[in-house]
Amino acid sequence: MRTVEEVLALVLNHAEPMTPVITPLATPALGLVLAEAIAADIDSPPFDKALVDGYAVRSADLQAPPCTLRLIGEVLAGATSAPPQVEAGTACRITTGAPLPPGADAVLMREVAACEAGQVYYAGSPVPAGQHVLACGSEFRAGQVVLEAGTVLRPVEFGLLAAVGKTAVRAYPAPPVAVIVTGDELVEPMRKPRPGQIRNSNGPMLMAQAARVGGLPRFLGIGRDQREHLLSLIKEGLEVARVVVLSGGVSMGQADLVPGVLAELGVERLVHGVNLKPGKPLYVGRRGDRLVFGLPGNPVSSLVCFELFIRPAIAQLRGVRSAAWQPASLPLAAAWSISTDRDTFHPARLHRTSQGASVEPLPWLGSPDLLTLSRADALVRVPPGAHTFPAGATLPVLTLFGDFGA
């Protein structure tokens, strides 16, 4: 059986980024990844700008306070008329954001000066050149690259793009993700299960996971344990999505029909089985540029396999660089004993204090135990064997439910 790292490398090797498209700078672009570098078209600020309300002055006039300056006018933010020239012994009232008038090289805060009868009085410390002034081009210059390709578009990037006049950019689109859950025992959540039935919890969970990491999820329904029904749903998934996620039907039981149906549809099997707990029966395949994941039907197995393998695949399709997860090394909050026959990712909770972070493995009933996982925000990785770890022992930890830079 392949290791977790081998499967992840194989998945990422077949997850070519989506073709970039021109995307308007609007809410749907939030979280997308730039496919081009963005350069400024103007200097910012485009003029020497006052940072406070006060008086534009010549610093040379204020080197030996107390001083009295003659008020010669006013400059308002947004004004288009020519400002007055500040000459020796004069000052000009100015508002925050307004351009510094000619001759001035500093701004006195309104609170530190007094103005009466057309005179400005100042009795503070000597004023240096540039005080309370943001110099022209000090943020960036025209032609300067302000955002690199590979940048995730967050609200701050929206603001920066608008500042350089960009109303549309080339970005990697969100990959469509088709979700299919399988099993005759499944009923939709609004129905009360009869004997032998269970509610479909994996569908909503996987849809939410896909959306959280930047995919465009689409639920295709519950696939019954019938070849024709599965064939129809999976065929649709391969037509409408770049990533097809199936939950259940991938083990070796009589009703586990998914691998055979995938083969019938021309899906090349890349992996079937991984040295992992939970998630050993994992299936990974591809058809053209489509990636297909068959996850075990137990909820925790589905969720963990998604986080380990599908989350990085979606991230790389979105154009995220270094999409592979990187576990942290954290100390255990308390002593812990565990015995396992496979590489195990155990639900855990992070604790953060002023002394640093630690991790607490949670009591866990195994793959069906979704309640415990709802209280977890991390997975502790443990190699096969019987282990007794003392408090403070350092183990690899993977944070759950990350969104790769969005």
pLDDT digits (tens, 9 = 90+) for 376-401: 999 999 999 999 999 999 999 999 86
Q: For residues 87-109, give the mean pLDDT.
A: 97
Q: Are 246 and 301 a contacting pair, CB within 8 Å?
A: no
CATH class label, 4-18+173-317: alpha beta
Query: Higher model confidence: residue 355 or residue 340?
Result: 340
Q: Grade residue 254 by pLDDT with cuts at 50, 70 and 90.
A: low
Q: Is the pLDDT of residue 403 over 50?
A: no
Domain ranges of the chain: 4-18+173-317, 22-42+147-172, 49-134, 328-399
pLDDT reported for residue 353: 87
pLDDT reported for residue 402: 56
Q: What is the DSSP letter of 127?
A: P
Per-residue model confidence as pLDDT tens digits over 156-212: 999 999 999 999 999 999 999 999 999 999 999 999 999 999 999 999 999 999 999
pLDDT reported for residue 21: 98
Fold match between 4-18+173-317 and 49-134? no
Q: Are 178 and 189 a contacting pair, CB within 8 Å?
A: no
CATH class label, 328-399: mainly beta
pLDDT reported for residue 173: 97
Q: Is 89 left (phi over 0), alpha (psi -120 to 50) or beta?
A: left
Handedness of CA 53, 56, 62, 65 (dihedral sign): negative
Q: For residues 307-315, give the mean pLDDT.
A: 96
C-alpha atoms less than 13 angstroms from C-alpha of 303 in its C-beta half-sphere? 29
Q: Grade residue 253 by pLDDT with cuts at 50, 70 and 90.
A: low
CATH class label, 49-134: mainly beta
Residues with Cβ within 8 Å of 227's Cβ and at least 6 positions away in sequence, in order, are 257, 260, 261
Per-residue model confidence as pLDDT tens digits over 27-49: 999 999 999 999 999 999 999 99
DSSP codes of every residue in 148-168: -TT-B--HHHHHHHHHTT-SE
C-alpha atoms less than 13 angstroms from C-alpha of 287 in its C-beta half-sphere? 18
At residue 386's C-alpha, the angle toward residues 384 and 392, to 5°, is 95
In the sheet that 243-247 helps form, which strands lie side by side, from edge to edge? Answer: 216-223, 176-182, 243-247, 290-295, 283-287, 268-272
CATH number of the structural domain 22-42+147-172: 3.90.105.10
Q: Is the pLDDT of residue 406 over 50?
A: no
Q: How far apart are CA 313 and CA 242, in angstroms?
A: 10
Whether the bond between 65 and the residue before it is cis, its omega within 30 degrees of 0, is no
Return the bridge partners of 332, or none: 359
Q: For residues 335-358, give the mean pLDDT.
A: 94
